[in-house]
Amino acid sequence: MKKLYELVGADENRRFSPYCWRASMALAHKGLEVERLPWHFTEKKAIAFSGQGRVPVLIDAENTISDSWEIAKYLEAEYPDTPSLKLDHGEVLFIKFWVETVLHPELLQLLVMDIYNNLAQKDKNYFRESREKRLGKTLEEIVINRDERLPRFQKLLNPLRTTLKNQDFVAGETPGFSDYIVFGAFQWARCISEFSLLNADDSVYSWREKMLNLYDGLARNAVGYAV
């Protein structure tokens, strides 16, 4: 059985990493079964065998693959008879970098305190110190007035919003890895925070509903908040 290391909070069923959600959704897309193993920020030793310190890490027979993008490429190459993740379009990379350089930083500044509050005690100091150093402010300062920053986040979604008014999924008529990349960001938020990001009349909201329902509600049934 394949194994996937996923980031968890104090509740080991709270799986909130956007990158791990990309991998879980990609495995489900291909109909591949996987045992999803809990991993905490401070358990670097547990994944040292992968040669790096971040999750997701996939173990498939004798192969160990880290990095969500590498995992997607591996699955596509190794399981050619399963539904395609549609990685062969160069635009998927644009989606990846848009999400990682535009959406994720903005979301982090809305969610960082909720992440901290949901972490296991042993992870809290590490998270606070590393994120405060990276962002140059205390976690409490970062989330101040987040309600006022929500319109800015929603405006960033305009290209996505317009795309989803014209087609069912980011990848076209059916979902592809580009959907899982974008969805990972929203699922990160949903699993960790009660803060509501989307209005029900938004095409992004309708798309997210479809994504939550995929694969027998894999993402909808995850521990999180009904926002």
Ligand X SMILES: N[C@@H](CCC(=O)N[C@@H](CS)C(=O)NCC(=O)O)C(=O)O
Mapped onto helix, strand or coil, the DSSP state of residue 150 is helix
Choose the binding region for ligand X from 53-61, 79-87, 151-159, 205-213 (rule: CB under 6 A).
Answer: 53-61
41 touches ligand X by CB under 6 A = yes
Q: What DSSP state is assigned to residue 169?
A: B
Residues 6+ apart with CB under 8 A from 46: 5, 39
Instruction: Give residues 8-27 in contact with ligand X (rule: CB under 6 A).
Output: 17-19
> Is residue 186 classed exposed, middle or buried when 0-12, 13-18 and 19+ CB atoms within 10 A define those classes?
buried
Stated as kind and residue range, the H or E segment containing 135 is helix 121-135
Q: In whole angstroms, how close is the CB of 199 to ligand X at the nearest point?
A: 26
# residues contacting ligand X (CB under 6 A)? 12
* Stretch near ligand X under the rule CB under 6 A, chosen from 28-36, 47-55, 142-150, 209-217: 47-55
Helix/strand/coil for 151? helix
Among 54, 86, 190, 208, binds ligand X (CB under 6 A): 54
Between 59 and 98, how does the x/- string for binding to ligand X read (CB under 6 A)?
A: --------xxx-----------------------------
Q: Running DSSP on this structure, what letter comes out for residue 46?
A: G
Interface positions with ligand X (CB under 6 A): 7, 17-19, 41, 53-56, 67-69
